[in-house]
């Protein structure tokens, strides 16, 4: 049984299910797990530690991972509040995409090995590290650092897996990853009645606020992903950059497997 399913079963019988895993590996999208709890009518949370990539505020080397956190909860009519975020300013994949597009990083995503903010994505990946959510200290990056530490507390430190700088480095496979993860499910029906009504009311209130730019409506967490999924469904597939397709084909050849199939559309 998957560990979020175990947490869901525990929450269904005891109100709360809290499960920690050690000796794990990269678990992909954190929200994959929280959403399963929301689909079962529960509040779902999940956390994972990762290879060290994030610098603590005032340091110039990595000690924590991109340590994502997620919470999902059922509102009305199949709607879900769905927050799923890295605790670094951006997830590593966004730096990879900037590099593939040959575009500089915005200031505040990463530092070089001397601790200075860099806009060079290759420097960030090869010798620097990612800044916490918020960026530098003046922009309250210490809050992202604190959240990443909280994730580590729930993951490696709680479960007894490797943690922080003790985790193997990104892309190195010299030893098992031994990551820690945490899966939580909470039954809102154990609290005040009307949870989903109030959640929907709050989401609708935010969405109906007057935006600063009329073309950009106020969203709640999960809306961008839902809009993107609708767009992908309309287009009949995911749009990739040519060099993403080339990199994937080169990897397929190296591994001796079929390359990803794609069609070119103008």
By CB under 6 A, residue 220 contacts ligand NAD: yes
Q: How far is the CB of 89 from ligand NAD (least distance, A)?
A: 9
C-alpha 198 chain-centroid distance? 26
> What is d(CA 155, CA 46) in angstroms, rounded to the nearest whole number?
10
Q: How far is the CB of 92 from ligand NAD (least distance, A)?
A: 7
> What is d(CA 59, CA 113) in angstroms, rounded to the nearest whole number?
10
**42 vs 85, beta carbon nearer ligand NAD:** 85
Q: How far is the CB of 44 from ligand NAD (least distance, A)?
A: 13
Number of residues forming the site for ligand NAD (CB under 6 A) = 23
Comparing every residue's Cβ against ligand NAD, the nearest one is 30
Site string for ligand NAD, 56-95 (x = CB under 6 A): ----------x-x--------------xxxx---xx--x-
Q: How far is the CB of 46 from ligand NAD (least distance, A)?
A: 8
Strands 80-85 and 117-118: unpaired
Contacting ligand NAD within 4-63 (CB under 6 A): 26-31, 48, 50
Burial class (CB in 10 A: 0-12, 13-18, 19+), 245: middle
**88 vs 118, beta carbon nearer ligand NAD:** 88
Helix, strand, or coil (residue 245): helix
Q: How far is the CB of 222 from ligand NAD (least distance, A)?
A: 5
What b-and-e string marks burial along 186-215, b requiring 16 or more CB atoms within 10 Å of the CB?
bbbeeeeeebbeebbeebeeeeeeeeeeee
Cross-strand pairs, 54:
64, 130
Q: Given the rule CB under 6 A, which residues bind ligand NAD?
A: 26-31, 48, 50, 66, 68, 83-86, 90-91, 94, 219-222, 224-225
């Amino acid at each position: 049984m998957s560990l979020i399913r175990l947490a869901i079963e525990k929450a269904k019988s005891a109100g709360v299910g809290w499960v920690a895993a050690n000796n794990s590996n990269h678990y992909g999208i954190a929200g994959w797990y929280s959403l399963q709890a929301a689909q079962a009518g529960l509040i779902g949370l999940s956390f994972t530690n990762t290879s060290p990539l994030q610098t603590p505020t005032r340091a110039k080397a990595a000690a924590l991972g991109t340590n994502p956190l997620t919470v999902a909860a059922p509102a009305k009519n199949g709607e879900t509040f769905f927050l799923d975020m890295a605790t670094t300013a951006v997830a590593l994949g966004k730096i990879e995409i900037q590099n593939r597009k040959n575009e500089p990083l915005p200031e505040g995503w990463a530092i070089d090995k001397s601790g200075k903010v860099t806009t060079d994505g290759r420097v960030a990946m090869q010798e620097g590290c990612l800044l916490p959510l918020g960026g530098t200290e003046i922009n309250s990056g210490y809050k992202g650092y604190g959240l990443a530490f909280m994730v580590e507390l729930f993951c490696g430190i709680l479960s007894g897996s490797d943690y922080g700088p003790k985790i193997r480095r990104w892309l190195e496979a010299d030893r098992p990853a031994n990551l820690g993860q945490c899966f939580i499910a909470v039954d809102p029906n154990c609290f005040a009645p009307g949870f989903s009504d109030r959640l929907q009311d709050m989401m609708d209130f935010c969405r109906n606020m007057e935006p600063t730019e009329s073309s950009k409506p106020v969203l709640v967490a999960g809306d961008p992903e839902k809009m993107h999924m609708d767009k992908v469904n309309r287009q009949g597939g995911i749009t990739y950059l040519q060099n993403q397709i080339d990199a994937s084909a080169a990897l397929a050849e190296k591994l001796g497997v079929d390359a990803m199939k794609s069609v070119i559309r103008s």
